[in-house]
Each structure stands twice: as structure tokens, then as C-alpha cells.
Chain A
């Protein structure tokens, strides 16, 4: 059986390590070439569907979300490289998503065309599926991994949670040690 990102953990990532390294090198090259240069795996329509899902998983509100963090480019590159084994799951999952969308909201609709409320309704119906967990995992990786992998644009993910990647910090580190008297 193909290992799936859905149960993603250390082991799955470990098994992907050589591919992750390749993806990193690939990402470096892409990063040097400036703005995202289109998709390597997704057809543009499919990218819009996945991006719409990601944007409900980590939505845009008073702060930027998965969309602004360019998570979709991370996912695309992941599927083009170290997560290539998940391509079939994406293709199948998107079919199911579109089926649910049409059933609920009419034949002409695509998931990404729906209102936010409608999208949430659809996602609530599939939130326990493997596909949803896969997209959730990939969204999180894209939001919070090093920007060189294509997502976490402008460190949007890290800024959201208050994480800083620095080689040097000085005490005090937090609020409780600020006035420490010993």
C-alpha cells in the first residue's frame, strides 16, 4: 500500500527525506527565479480548488492566511517532487469534492466558486476523510515550513503564531522571565 500523508508523522517524512532534499534544491532554484512561475503538477482549475480548501483550513481574516502564504505553490511543488505518491489521492479527492459540490449546490458549480459558508458546509461533510486530512496536512506544511519550499511566503505562517527563526536570541525570552529577580 502506498504510504499516505494523511497519517503524516515523522516516519512518513523520514521516508521522503531524499525527495525532500531534492525538493529543497528545486525550491531554491525556483526562488531565485522570482515570483511563482505557474504550476508544475496542478492544472490551473484544480489549483483553484485546492487553494480554496487551504484557504478555509487557514482562512484569511484580520491577518493573512494560507492563500497569502502561497501554500498552493508549496503543495504543487510537493506533489511534483517529494510527495509524488500522493498525486492519485489528490486527483481522486478532487473528483469527490466536485461531486459533493454539484450534489449540494447544482451542476454548474465548482467548489472554488462557492461562498465561504457553502465551502465550509462541504468541508464539514468531508472533514473526516483521508483526502481532507491530506490537504490539511499539506496546508500546514506549506504554511509553516521554511519559505524556500515555496509556501510560508514572507514568513506569514511564522508571523501568525509568533515564531521567529533567528540564530541569536537574548534573555529575557518571554513575559515571565522579563522581571525575574531570582
Chain B
């Protein structure tokens, strides 16, 4: 297998180097190579495939088998810039070919029209960089459709009264409803809300040569053994390789983007799996390393020409980090739900998606019912907080609760706050000797209020669905992120943003950046489809510019 994959000679002329083979990098690799460009994708993690994945909670617990490794890649965290950051896990992402699309849950809502124009609609919010996007929903709509059809998304067009307009239905029908979905519908209809079939990046039936979902239940934290999850690994990356023009180079950890005296990118320097340093030249570079690693790489790439980090004349690289907010309430029901079977989510509620000034604070979100809980994790911490921790009653509760528990979740907005950011830790280094990711993050007051609001809605929903017993944990400010958004934001003005509306760095004409870092506002908690719609759109513009000679190259 390995030998059949495209491989360029060391001196081959390469058009594009893409850093990161995840949600965005996979898409862009496919698009650029299909357009005839020679592409090398450098991915820090390994190249795993379906036979490498397995049902093994001890090994995969909390997804670390296939994610960033804190032992070699420590993080530091602090709430405010006044504090000294302490070493602790603060971010998580898929560290492998396919990135986080391999182990994610696969919730694939589109953003709504309002997500792109909230600043204009709602006005400024003190202490934030709240802004409109430089593009609108209607500009992105064709690319949402393209992403859904190229990657394979299950769903039912028109099922949600809140859905934005779409040019095409979903390519495959929704996955079967689960008990959590039935209860979501039951609760929602009592409350006058609307539960609709969840759009999921998991195919419900065979599509483009892949198998439909077998409902084994090992989605979140795990890689799909039958390639029913529409990861970039299972879809576009394979197609990119088939062009013969795209080399996926795993175990390649990029340490610096190199530039010449004219301020043009010449290529990247990276460590291979044996920590040997290589230089890969290219006519242009596309960074898709995620909302934490992308700004880190730019900050690591400072030179005398770019003293504050590459593409950072605005000072906005790493700033405006947004995690999305999360709210939860839990309940146990009379009868069995067996949520361990099938995909995580089968119904979604968008009645509180939009911000409503009547609430007195900014924010909105979506809701769902789900219970992603594998046996070990459940027994360790899945019972209500007041439950016994051992003994006869503990055992009885494990037995009673596992198949009957469900969480109601709110997935909410985060405001862009400049003092929430990614920077280089001054002291802590990774195993390659590079400064560690330092996260500074404190949820904005309005984000906390939004989470509180959603926790109340979660309780209402469970109550209306007929919960036998409910519990919740008090909300706390977040210190850990898996949605890594906003840190190289798009914008028209070069002094207020890092990339333009085509994802080209304002400061460097042959450098492009496209991933969660491009976001201007956070959306409502399910960012990946939007990351990929942006990637399809960016690809079109990169191809256009490359073909017209508009991308100046140092090579």
C-alpha cells in the first residue's frame, strides 16, 4: 500500500506545501492536486488507516491514542495575561492524517446567515473584537453544498424551520433516530421547540464507494473502522493521492515557515520521524494546522523582516481564541436508551440559535441529547455527583444508569476577546525544543450568561421529556478547548486581521492560512463543516490566483 502512494523526489519542483492534513488541509490538498498542482502535505502525526482502528477504551480513552501528546507537546494555561501560565493540558486535536475529523463526533450543522453579520445586526460589545465576517452566508453556501456532497453528510433538508437556505438537499438521508432523539422530540414538542434530524458527517448508507454506518457506537474519540465517518482520511485525502500529484508526508513536524529577503515564503523546515531536519521548498505555502498550531507556527517563524512573527504586522496572530461555550444537564429515565449504540446525536434543536436582545446578553446556540460514555469512563465519573463511589449501592447504580442516562447539551457562542489567545510559552519547550503552546483564556461574562441560559434550557428539555431524576454540575469558566477558533482571523483591514477574504496573509502574498483560525466569530458550537466550506472556497481562489500568475513565488 505504502509504495503506491505518490512520493516526490527531494529535488522535485513543488507548487504548494500544505501544513496539516486535517479538516481543511485534506480538502485543499484534493482541490489543488485535482487542478494539476503538485502538492506536498506535511502532517505531524502518523498515517493510520481503518485496520489500525479498534474498540479499545483503555488505549483510546479520551482519544489520546490519536491526538496531541502532552508528554512530548506540553501546553501551559493561564486565565489572564497577568498570570504566569502553569503546565497543564489546555487544547486537544487529532494528531494524524485526517486530523480531528478522524475522531470527532461528526455534527455537521451549517452556520446560519446571521453568524456572518452579527456585529452589524447587534452592535459593538465592549471589551471584544466582535466583527462581521468579510464574506456572507450566500457567498459560502455553494461551498457548504460542495462539502456536504464531496465528503458525505447525512441529513434532511428543510427539516429545521431555522435552517438557512440551501441549493441542494443532503446527499444521504438521516441516520436512524435513537432513544435520545425521540426524547428530544418529545421534550421539544411539549415546549413548543423543534427537534430535527441531526446533520452528521457519518453516512447512513453506502456513498461514493464507502460503507454506511454499522452503528457500533465507537465514533467520538475513535477512528471509524468501516470508513462510514466522513473524515478527510476516508474521503478527499484518498482522492488527492489518486491524482498522483499529492504526497501525504506523515510524521513531519513543521518548525518554521522560511521567507526570503523580499518577504516571500520559500518553503518550510520540518523534523521527520527521526528528528532529522529537512527543508521542503514550494512556490506557496498553505497553513491548515488548526487554531492553536497555526498561530504558534507563525509566531515561531519570526525573522528580522517579521519580528513579531510571520504575517503578524497586525499583532492579531494568536488573538481572539474562541472555544465555544458548553452547557449540560443530565438525567436518568425510566426505560433503557442504550445510547452506547450508533452515532452520538440523532436530533438537534435550534430554537435558541439566534442571539435575542431580550435576554439581556449576547449569545445563542444549539442543543442536543446524547450520552457518549464508554464503560470505564462511565464507571469512573458517569454517575450523579451525589452517588456513592463504591460498594453495593454504587454497583446497583452502575447497573441501573448506564443504559438509562442521557445528557442535554447546549453548544454556544464565544465572543472574540483579544486577551484570549495562543502564544509561545517563554519557559516550557516541547520534545523538539520548540516553545510550547501557551493558552490564555477566560470566558467573557456574556458567554457565561449564555451557558447559564442554556443549562436552564437543558433542564427544561429533560423535564419535558419525562426524566425520572435530573442533576447538573455548576458551570465553571473553561480552561480546555477542542474547538480552536479565531486566532488568525479573516478581514478586509490589514491592521485588524491576519488573512484577507481569500485566506491570503495580508503581509505575505504567497502564504495562505485556512482552518478554524480563520473564523471571525465562533458560530454555535459545530465548526468543522464551516472550516471545510471555507477550505473549498479558499481552494477555488488559490487555484484562480495560481493560474492567473497572481501568486508571486520565490522559487
Confirm or deny: B134 has a beta carbon within 8 angstroms of a beta carbon on chain A: no
User: Across the two chains, which residue of chain A brings its CB closest to B333?
Assistant: A176
Contact of B56 among A11, A146, A161, A166 (CB under 8 A): A146
B473 within 8 A of A: no
Contact between B69 and A14, CB atoms less than 8 A apart: yes
Q: A56-B390, A176-B183, A177-B178 are in contact. Are A167 and B402 (CB under 8 A)?
A: no
Report whether A137 and B380 are in contact in the complex, using a CB–CB cutoff of 8 Å: yes
CB-CB under 8 A from B335, the residues of chain A are 174-176
Say whether A171 faces chain B, with CB atoms less than 8 Å apart. yes
- A131 interface hit (Cβ, 8 Å): no
Q: Point out the residue from A20, A163, A165 that lies within 8 Å of B58, measured CB to CB.
A: A20
* A162 engages B71 (CB within 8 Å): no
Task: Kindly state whether residue A52 has any CB partner on chain B within 8 Å.
Answer: no
Cβ–Cβ < 8 Å partners of B89 in chain A? 10-11
Among B21-29, B235-243, B339-347, the one that faces the other chain is B339-347
Interface check A9, CB cutoff 8 A: yes
Q: Is the CB of B392 within 8 A of A160?
A: no
A29-37, A40-48, A58-66, A92-100: which lies at the B interface? Answer: A58-66
Contacts of B177 in A (CB 8 A): 171, 177, 180
**Range for the number of chain B residues in contact with chain A:** 35 or more
- B1-9, B60-68, B165-173 - interface stretch: B60-68
- Which chain B residues lie closer than 8 Å to A173 at the CB level? 176, 178-179, 215, 337-339, 341-342
Report if B244 contacts A (CB, 8 A).
Answer: no
User: Which residues of chain A are within 8 angstroms of B178 by Cβ–Cβ distance?
Assistant: 171, 173-174, 177
* Nearest chain A CB to B368 CB, angstrom units: 15
The answer to whether B176 touches A171 (Cβ under 8 A) is: yes
Cβ–Cβ contact A174 & B337, under 8 A: yes
| Neighbouring A residues of B391 by C-beta, 8 Å | 56-57, 59, 120
**A145 on the interface (CB 8 Å rule)?**
yes
Q: How does the 8 Å CB contact mask read for A125-155 relative to B, with 1 for contact and 0 for none?
A: 0010000000011001101111001000000
Determine the distance from Cα of A166 to Cα of B392 in the docked complex, in whole angstroms. Answer: 28
Q: Is B225 an interface residue (CB 8 A)?
A: yes
Q: Which single member of A161, A164, A177 contacts B398 (CB below 8 Å)?
A: A161
Is B278's beta carbon under 8 Å from chain A?
no
Question: Within the assembled complex, what's the spacing in Å between the Cα atoms of A166 and B340?
Answer: 10
> What A residues does B56 contact at CB under 8 A?
24, 145-146
A170 at the interface (CB under 8 A from B): yes
Residues on A with C-beta less than 8 A from B403 are 161-162, 174
Taken residue by residue from 76 to 111, chain B's Cβ proximity to chain A (1 for < 8 Å, 0 otherwise) reads as 000000000000010000000000000000000000
Contact check, B390 vs A123: say whether CB atoms are below 8 A apart.
Answer: yes
Q: Is B389 an interface residue (CB 8 A)?
A: yes
Cβ-defined contact, A149 with B183, below 8 A: no
Known: A14-B62, A177-B181. A165 touches B380 (CB 8 A): no
Contact B57–A58 (Cβ < 8 Å): no
Q: Is B395 an interface residue (CB 8 A)?
A: yes
Q: Is the CB of A8 within 8 A of B402?
A: no
Interface size on A, residues (CB 8 A): 50
Majority SS of interface residues in chain B? loop
Give the contacting residue for A169; candidates B186, B215, B392; CB below 8 A. Answer: B215
| B108 nearest CB across to chain A (Å) | 20
Q: A162-B338, A173-B342, A175-B337 are in contact. Are A168 and B214 (CB under 8 A)?
A: yes
Q: Closest approach, in angstroms, between the C-beta of A87 and any C-beta of chain B?
A: 19
How close is B77's CB to chain A, nearest CB, in angstroms? 13
- Bound-state CA distance A6–B124 (Å) is 47
In angstroms, Cα B403 to Cα A179, docked, is 18
Contact B216 A168 (CB under 8 A): yes
Instruction: Please give, as numbers and ranges, the residues of chain A lying within 8 Å of B390 by CB-CB distance.
Output: 56-58, 123, 127, 136
Known: A56-B391, A145-B57. A161 touches B176 (CB 8 A): no
| A145-B70 in contact given A14-B64, A169-B342 (Cβ < 8 Å) | no
Residues of A near B71 (CB, < 8 A) are 14-15
Chain B residues 355 to 391 lying within 8 A of chain A, measured CB to CB, are 375-376, 378-380, 389-391
- The 0/1 profile, CB within 8 Å of A marked 1, for residues 321-346 of chain B is 00000000000010111111110000
Q: Name the CB-closest residue of A to B338.
A: A174
Q: Which residues of B contact A59 (CB under 8 A)?
A: 391-392, 395
Alpha-carbon separation in the docked complex, A78 to B62 (Å): 19
Complex partner residue of A160 from B64, B69, B376, B395, CB under 8 angstroms: B395
For B476, the chain A residues whose CB sits under 8 A away are none
B182 at the interface (CB under 8 A from A): yes
Chain B: minimal CB distance from A18 (Å)? 10
Q: A59-B395, A144-B57 are in contact. Are A175 and B342 (CB under 8 A)?
A: no
Looking at the complex, which one of B225, B395, B399 makes contact with A167 (CB distance below 8 Å)?
A: B225
B162 at the interface (CB under 8 A from A): no
Some 12 contacts from A to B, beta carbons below 8 A apart, are: A13-B62, A17-B65, A56-B391, A57-B390, A162-B338, A162-B399, A169-B214, A174-B336, A174-B403, A177-B178, A177-B179, A177-B181
* A-B complex: 5 closest residue pairs judged by Cβ atoms: A10-B62, A14-B64, A174-B179, A175-B335, A176-B179
19 more A-B residue pairs beyond the given contacts A15-B70, A169-B215, with a C-beta to C-beta distance below 8 A? A10-B89, A13-B62, A13-B64, A14-B64, A14-B69, A17-B59, A17-B64, A58-B394, A157-B379, A160-B395, A161-B379, A161-B398, A162-B402, A169-B342, A171-B342, A173-B215, A173-B339, A176-B335, A180-B182
